[in-house]
Amino acid sequence: MQGWTRLIRNATVASCVDGKPYGLIPKGAIALAGNRFAWVGPAKELPSALPKSVAVTDVRGALVTPGLIDCHTHLVWAGSRYREFEQRLNGTSYEEIARAGGGIASTVTATRAAGESDLLSLALSRAARLVAEGVTTIEIKSGYGLDRDNELKMLRVARSIGKRLPLTVRTTLLAAHAVPPEFKGRADDYIKCVCDEILPAAAAEGLADAVDAFCERIGFTPAQIERVFTRAQELGLAVKLHAEQLSNQRGAALAARFKALSADHLEHVEKEGVVALAAARTVAVLLPGAYSYLRETKRPPVELLRVHRVPIAIASDLNPGSAPLASLLLNLNLGCTLFGLTPEEALLGVTRHAARALGLRKERGTIEPGKFADLVIWNAEHPAELAAQFGMVRPVAIVREGAS
Ligand code: NIG
Ligand code: FE
């Protein structure tokens, strides 16, 4: 009981620790010591006399989960791509739009033109939507700047979001997202610029926690990405990859070779890639919102991921082109209805496994003594409710690093 400051009792605790479904403790209690969890277990195992200084909250049976983690977003951008939504519904594909100079390139034009403070207020309002639904940690990527100054501008905006909202932000440099117009037809030269200029600048300013790339016919080849990853690792940065979203480029195997934190999308991954992810303990991040928004039909091979025991995370992919859907909870539901995940897999995908996808496995993602005290109290009684509906189960209270 030493150092206990707060006790939450009469809770249905979905601790998300390994060992039993949801890490569920039906009549549970959670003790905090400052910004960390100090104790969690069945209420009947609590010591009988608590020091008076401990603030006690009775949540009357309500569900308590770890703070949610959205481990893949591109929420810093300017402009809108609603016309592409119209185009796609009139029969043009995402890939065709990109090849015709729309898609990512159009967001790059708008984002380059935007000032840092405008970009910040746009991004803050999107991040606030996630915070309101219980998200306490997010990853935010650059990737709409595609030159040194604009990529750094995006990363600075991402970092400031973590100072203005009760949110832990992990930033990812995604300079290898698309070939910028000034390098048209010279992808290799752009990759050289990413490796020699953009990456070292982001690392020197401490603006990036990880490095990502888009491995795709409309993105970069595995050979080009290998150069980016090699440079990232020389600079001490973790890597992750947009892999197998529209086609199988063997991106998952590449990511695994570099011991990537995660390989994301994976609709087109095959057995070889899955086996490689399993061996590297790389997290498979599934993005059902993007799959749904692009009206894709090839689902990621969930059963294969299960059989090979690849940790599965779910994220919003919040971005202007393939997923302008500012809700992680929506993705829990879509993960189940579209990909066949169970509600338990969905919840672990936005808690324990999402923490691993961000390199935060030891600090966040479960309710366990020693970890940061990020938690959500819900108007629900059972953790399956989080995925089993949309828009009705909401946070009653959110605690981030011990503060609400
Ligand atoms: O995760 N696939 C690449 N990147 C984003 C979409 C970017 C965009 O269309 O603006 C994604 O889907
Ligand atoms: Fe993405």
Nearest CA-CA partner of 400 in 126, 155, 16, 69: 69
By the CB criterion, residues less than 5 angstroms from ion ligand 2 are 317
Average pLDDT over residues 132-147: 98
Ligand at shortest distance from the CA of 108: 1
Instruction: Give buried/exposed letters for 26-61 (b at 16+ CB in 10 A, else e).
Output: eebbbbbbeebbbbbeebeebeeeeeeeeeebebee
First-to-last CA distance in the chain? 21
Question: What does the CA dihedral 239, 360, 16, 256 come to, rounded to 10 degrees?
Answer: 20
Distance of CA 191 to the CA centre of its chain: 25
317 CA → ligand 2 middle, Å: 5
Which pLDDT score, from 0 to 100, does residue 47 have?
85
pLDDT in tens, 21-74: 999 999 999 999 999 999 999 999 998 888 889 999 999 999 999 999 999 999
Instruction: Among 107, 242, 249, 294, say which to mutate for ligand 1: greatest number of ligand atoms within 8 Å of CB.
Output: 242
- C-alpha closest to that of 362 among 13, 3, 17: 17
Q: How far is the CA of 73 from the centre of ligand 2 (A)?
A: 6
Q: What is the pTM of this model?
A: 0.98
pLDDT over threshold 90, residue 314: yes
Residues in contact with ligand 1 (CB, 6 Å cut-off): 74, 103-104, 107, 214, 242, 245, 290, 317, 319-322
> Which residues of 225-314 form beta strands (DSSP E)?
238-243, 262-265, 283-286, 312-314
Dig out the tokens for 117 from the structure. 């403070």
Instruction: Assess whether pLDDT exceeds 90 at residue 373.
Output: yes
Return the half-sphere exposure (C-beta side, CA atoms, 13 A cut-off) of residue 257: 14
- What's the rounded Cα separation, in Å, for the pair 58 and 161? 32
The CA 74 to ligand 1 mean position distance, Å, reads 8
Q: Residue range 324-342: average pLDDT?
A: 98
Residue 145 has pLDDT above 90, yes or no: yes
Q: Could you give the dihedral angle defined by the CA atoms of residues 250, 232, 234 and 161, in that order, rounded to the nearest 10 degrees?
A: -150
Q: What's the mean pLDDT in 326-340?
A: 98
The alpha carbon of 371 and the centre of ligand 1 are apart by a number of angstroms equal to 32
DSSP notation for 315-377: ----BTTTB----HHHHHHHHHHHH---HHHHHHHTTHHHHHHTT-TTTSSS--TTSB--EEE
As a whole number of angstroms, the distance between CA 269 and CA 117 comes to: 39
Question: Nearest-CA neighbor of 258 among 223, 283, 230?
Answer: 230
